[in-house]
């Protein structure tokens, strides 16, 4: 018979890993849509390590949990960088190609598709090129895209801090349920 009780540290970590995985997958989708290559790689690594932490929690593998806990500190640092990048702190510029590795001129997907944004394309007829380039004007956004990106990073930091505040006490012997 299963015993019901308070949520243990292990149960809490499983819940936080699940939440962190869902939020990371959502973020990964929007970074792919915006061709943000540095965040795509960071999110991919984060997803792998969250799965590792999830597995370590379920299987009582303390080494995996330690790797996951150390990674969450690195993940917080990455998200603080993203916040500084979009708020243009310390000489960083949200208009630079840093997050795309200078491969493309794309920006955050939210810069053109944010809540309430009206997107207008103006075709360049003066420049004759082989591809149809256009200038995109975005107006009337309810929230500017950099604040959406800051919000995403803030949620990631909040979840990571919760993970580090709730250490798991791994059990050496498994409890048998009768």
Q: How does pLDDT run across 51-89, given as a tens digit for each residue?
A: 999 999 999 889 999 999 999 999 999 999 999 999 999
Work out the mean pLDDT of the chain and round it to a whole number.
Answer: 82
Q: Which long-range contacts (CB under 8 A, 24 or more apart) does 41-44 make?
A: 42/78
- pLDDT tens figures, 123-158: 666 445 545 556 567 888 899 989 999 999 999 999
Residue 92: pLDDT over 60: yes
Distance in angstroms (rounded) separating the CA atoms of residues 104 and 143: 25
- pLDDT higher for 114 or 63? 63
Q: Is the full-model pTM beyond 0.95?
A: no
* N-to-C CA span, the chain: 5
**Furthest-apart CA pair in the chain: how many Å?**
79
Distance in angstroms (rounded) separating the CA atoms of residues 107 and 90: 20
């Amino acid at each position: 018979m299963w015993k019901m009780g308070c949520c243990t540290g292990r149960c809490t970590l499983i819940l936080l890993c699940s939440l962190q995985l869902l939020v990371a997958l959502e973020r990964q989708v929007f970074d792919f849509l915006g061709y943000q290559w540095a965040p795509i790689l960071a999110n991919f690594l984060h997803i792998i390590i969250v799965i590792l932490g999830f597995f370590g929690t379920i299987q009582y593998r303390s080494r995996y949990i330690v790797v996951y806990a150390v990674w969450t500190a690195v993940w917080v640092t990455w998200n603080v960088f993203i916040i500084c990048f979009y708020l243009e702190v310390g000489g960083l510029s949200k208009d630079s190609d840093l997050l795309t590795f200078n491969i493309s001129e794309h920006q955050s997907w939210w810069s053109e598709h944010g809540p309430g944004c009206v997107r207008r394309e103006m075709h360049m007829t003066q420049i004759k090129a082989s591809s149809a380039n256009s200038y995109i004007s975005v107006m009337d956004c309810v929230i500017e895209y950099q604040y959406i990106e800051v919000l995403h990073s803030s949620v990631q930091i909040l979840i990571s801090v919760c993970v580090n505040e709730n250490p798991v006490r791994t059990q050496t012997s498994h409890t048998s349920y009768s």
